[in-house]
Amino acid sequence: MRVLVIDIGGTHVKLYGARRLEPVKIDSGPAMTPTKLVNGIQKATEGWKYDVISIGYPGAVVHGKPLHDPVNLGKGWIGFDFQKAFGRPVKIINDAAMQALGSYRGGRMLFLGLGTGLGSALIVDGALEPLELGHLPFKHGKTFEDHVGVAALKRFGEKKWVKNVFEVVAQLRNALLAESVVLGGGNSKLLTTLPPDTFRGDNENARTGGLRLWQSPARRMALAAAPLSDDVFEHETGFPVRYG
């Protein structure tokens, strides 16, 4: 099964196709509506072969449907029929959750995305549960996101922000009994050291997450538990072993 993976961002939309070494990017922004997105993707992927589509959406998704329009894109996302527009089966998931799937290493893993806000997801034995932990109260009348989002980085400065990240990771890991934590998002690169049992993710893991979205939890567990040989990896994912 060939999967087209779409990772929607506020500046660019990344498109990952089978057996392509690099993503294709199309411009995004406040004028980007779902109709413009579909038209842009169809033009950019002309001649590509794919059977199904995974979409990483920059907002809350419930039962495969966006709950609200993204704050940094155009309007019209709620209720838009992507499957009809593309003419293929489509699965939509929160972008942090898709990156979490691609970062999964087995067991009980908490994903925290350090970007504009705080993305979050929990994976237990291959089963994914998207979360909205960033909006929960933390301390001093502020939320977790208020302490580790990009606004907090500007307000507190990098040294205090890093301290906040360590504290937030410890609190959420203990609360959710996570065996490991993956820190994704662009601001994770600011951390020169990481909390215990914590690993740095990569935005490009969204590619693998989009592929795993079509696999069963049991298959995700199997793929996360053991390194794949080069030929098995390419067969399972449709992507070459080397990227970039």
Instruction: Name the token pair of 221.
Output: 């567990």
Hey, is 109 helix, strand or coil? strand
Instruction: Name the token pair of 144.
Output: 């977790």
Longest dimension (CA), the chain: 54
Which has more confidence, 178 or 219? 178
pTM, entire model: 0.86
Residue 34 carries which DSSP code? H
Q: Please give the class, per CATH, of domain 99-200.
A: alpha beta
Residue 190 carries which DSSP code? G
Measure the CA–CA gap between 175 and 5, rounded to whole angstroms: 32
CATH topology of domain 3-95: Nucleotidyltransferase; domain 5 (3.30.420)
Instruction: Name the token pair of 132.
Output: 């909205």
How does pLDDT run across 43-85, given as a tens digit for each residue?
999 999 999 999 999 999 999 999 999 988 999 999 999 999 9
Is residue 9 within 8 Å of residue 115, measured between CB atoms? no
Measure the CA–CA gap between 220 and 104, rounded to whole angstroms: 8
**What crossing angle do the helices spanning 95-103 and 205-212 adopt, rounded to 10°?**
90
Q: Return the pLDDT at 238.
A: 53
Alpha helices in the chain (DSSP H): 34-44, 82-86, 95-103, 144-148, 150-156, 158-176, 205-212, 217-225, 230-237
Q: What is the number of other CB atoms lying within 10 angstroms of the CB of residue 231?
A: 9
Start-end ranges of CATH 3.30.420.40 in the chain?
3-95, 99-200
Hey, is 60 helix, strand or coil? coil
Q: Return the pLDDT at 203.
A: 80
Measure the CA–CA gap between 144 and 172, rounded to whole angstroms: 10
Residue 240: which residues within 8 A CB-CB, separation 6 or more?
19, 21, 234
Name the pLDDT band for 229 (thresholds 50, 70, 90).
Answer: very low
CA terminus-to-terminus distance, the chain: 23
Residue 40: which residues within 8 A CB-CB, separation 6 or more?
13, 26, 27
How does pLDDT run across 12-34, given as a tens digit for each residue?
999 998 777 789 999 999 999 99
Q: Return the pLDDT at 1.
A: 83
